[in-house]
Amino acid sequence: MTDLRSASVAETVRLTSEGDLTPRVVVDEALDRIASLDPGLNAFSVVLAERAHEEAVALGQGRDTTGPLHGVPIAIKEEVDVAGCVTTFGGEANTTPAAADAELVARLRAAGAVIVGKTTMPEFGAYPYTEGASRGITRNPWDPTRTPGGSSGGTAAAVASGMVPVGIGGDGGGSIRIPSAMCGLFGLKPQRGRVTTAPHEHLWWALGTVGPLARTVRDAAIVYDVIKGNTDTDLYRAGPTGSFEAAALREPGRLRIGWSVKPVGVGVRPDPLHVAAVEETARLLTTLGHDVREVDPRYPDPTAAFVPQFFAGIRSEAQAVEHYDRLERRTRETYRLGSWVTPKVTQWALRASERVSARANRVFDDVDVLLTPSIAHRPPRVGVIDGRGTVASSLLAMPAIAYAALWNVAGNPAASVPCGLAPDGLPVGVQLVGPTDGEEVLLSLSAQLEQARPWPLLAGASGVTD
């Protein structure tokens, strides 16, 4: 019998579509795992147990045909609207439930997914560690004394622990890739504009994207095929693409792959374990037939483009909440510190993003894919930013975003790919960056790595046994 703790999205859909299991059984088992595991991890801010059960029962009874996510339990990051739930952004400043699903949630439901709850995040996703005054501290399933990263840390903990097979996160500076690296998941930040942000025009202006964190490359691709595409309200739109699942199932061909462990910014040094992971991955890719060589990416400095958009994103979200006075102290401090970011400054930063993107993409004149560490440091102990202000928290975030944030500014797709466990018992990930609209090549290459070097799932996870 299939163990649903480790069942993939593809396997779950096969079971529910062929009648081996009903959506009710799959969803109820997921809810049981959440009830058992979440008290020790704090991955969920809201569990929709009764509603999810009812939807799963109806799903099993009401359709002659099945969708690509038939009966799959999915968790949604707090910043994404789910009808009937307060969109808290990780805090207490909103109190009115959302009247309708965000467009991507509606697409998930239409494909047969069942939303089982919403996941924790630091307020407004401002930092790459999932902890705050409102939601407390979220813990890494591999070692509960360590952070799962962020800002999609609740989603990462839910998926890595086996509570759900896949969950939705967001990435404005690494927030899909960072927790994926720390929790041993595959996390692809898509091309800017690939996934609709409706009902919002944008997510942190040019920085933010939305997408799944998954245990397999194919699972991420299946979810992307459901949620990608735009609405008339989206400020950004990606270029045309084919089936992501098909890309994950085909060989990538012989690629030119450049690798570098050089951080984008100054003052950050990568952990030797991450340097070794990149070098070992480069050797593996060579044995797989690719043209692999060390390169100097000649990174542009993204600071002048990133920082104003960061502040503008926080300020616009803070201005839209119902109860500003209920925001966390650090968030209110960040709001005040960003008062210099006027609409004119934001527009200047958006133009600067275009210049940064042009310079960053020069590396793809010579290579097809860039290989780097996902993060610079090992997963820190929990409480990284607990009680700290904006400046201290921002400095502590630097090792996490050192390789990731540039590609939010540039807009390129980038993925964190697991490459095993380190001697400390925690996962290690490497980042693959693709050219503009290059998700398909990243999915094909990541799937090839997954097959050549399968990554561990669940082993060592808190409260979960093999």
State the sign of the Cα–Cα–Cα–Cα dihedral 10, 81, 134, 52.
Answer: negative
pLDDT (0 to 100) of residue 1: 59
| Residue 357 falls in the annotated catalytic set | no
> CA-to-CA distance for 55 and 112, rounded, in angstroms?
10
Q: Which residues contact 355 (CB under 8 A, 6 or more apart)?
A: 300, 305
Structure tokens that stand for 206 in this block: 């040019």
User: pTM for this structure?
Assistant: 0.96
Tally of CA atoms within 13 A in the half-sphere of 136 that contains its CB: 11
> CA-to-CA distance for 413 and 220, rounded, in angstroms?
13
Q: pLDDT tens digits, residue range 169-181?
A: 999 999 999 999 9
| Cβ atoms within 10 Å of 273's Cβ, excluding its own | 15
Structure tokens that stand for 288 in this block: 């797989």
Q: In degrees, to the nearest 5, what angle opens at C-alpha 441 toward C-alphas 363 and 410?
A: 40
**pLDDT greater than 90 at residue 432:** yes
> CA-to-CA distance for 236 and 39, rounded, in angstroms?
39
State the sign of the Cα–Cα–Cα–Cα dihedral 218, 454, 162, 40.
Answer: negative
Q: pLDDT tens digits, residue range 15-36?
A: 999 889 999 999 999 999 999 9
Options 175, 353, 393, 446, the catalytic residue:
175
Q: Which residues pair with 167 in a beta bridge?
A: 75, 213
| Residue 77 falls in the annotated catalytic set | yes
Output Rg (C-alpha) for the chain, integer angstroms: 20
* Bigger pLDDT: 69 vs 265: 69
Q: What band does 63 get if pLDDT is binned at 50, 70 and 90? A: low
Options 8, 45, 134, 151, the catalytic residue:
151
Structure tokens that stand for 318 in this block: 């803070």
Structure tokens that stand for 74 in this block: 């999915």
Residue (of 381, 447, 53) closest to 245 by Cα position: 447
Question: Poorest-confidence range of 423-432, 438-447, 454-463?
Answer: 454-463
Q: What band does 458 get if pLDDT is binned at 50, 70 and 90? A: low
Q: Are strands 427-433 and 414-421 parallel, antiparallel or unpaired?
A: antiparallel
> CA-to-CA distance for 341 and 116, rounded, in angstroms?
38
pLDDT (0 to 100) of residue 137: 96
Options 77, 118, 189, 228, the catalytic residue:
77
Q: pLDDT tens digits, residue range 351-363?
A: 999 999 999 999 9
**pLDDT greater than 80 at residue 89:** yes
User: Dihedral through CA 76, CA 80, CA 82, CA 83, nearest 10?
Assistant: 180
CA distances in angstroms from 461 to 144, 159, 161, 209, listed in the order given? 9, 11, 6, 28
What is the average pLDDT score of the chain?
A: 95
CB contact burial 312-322 (16+ within 10 A = b; e otherwise): bbbbbbbeebe
Q: What band does 326 get if pLDDT is binned at 50, 70 and 90? A: very high
| Residue 462 falls in the annotated catalytic set | no
Q: In degrees, to the nearest 5, what angle opens at C-alpha 135 toward C-alphas 123 and 187?
A: 65
* Bigger pLDDT: 458 vs 158: 158
Tell me whether the omega of the peptide bond preceding residue 165 falls within 30 degrees of 0, making it cis.
no
Residue 79: what residue type?
A: E
pLDDT (0 to 100) of residue 462: 42
Ramachandran bin of 204, using left for φ above 0, alpha for ψ from -120 to 50, beta for the remaining angles: left
User: Dihedral through CA 414, CA 420, CA 424, CA 425, nearest 10?
Assistant: 110
CA distances in angstroms from 285 to 181, 376, 456, listed in the order given? 19, 21, 19
Place of tokens 């060579």: 286
**pLDDT greater than 90 at residue 60:** no
Q: pLDDT tens digits, residue range 183-211?
A: 999 999 999 999 999 999 999 999 999 99
Structure tokens that stand for 178 in this block: 């960072």
* Bigger pLDDT: 3 vs 389: 389
CA distances in angstroms from 281 to 135, 205, 215, listed in the order given? 37, 34, 19
CB contact burial 393-411 (16+ within 10 A = b; e otherwise): bbebbbbbbbbbbbbbbbb
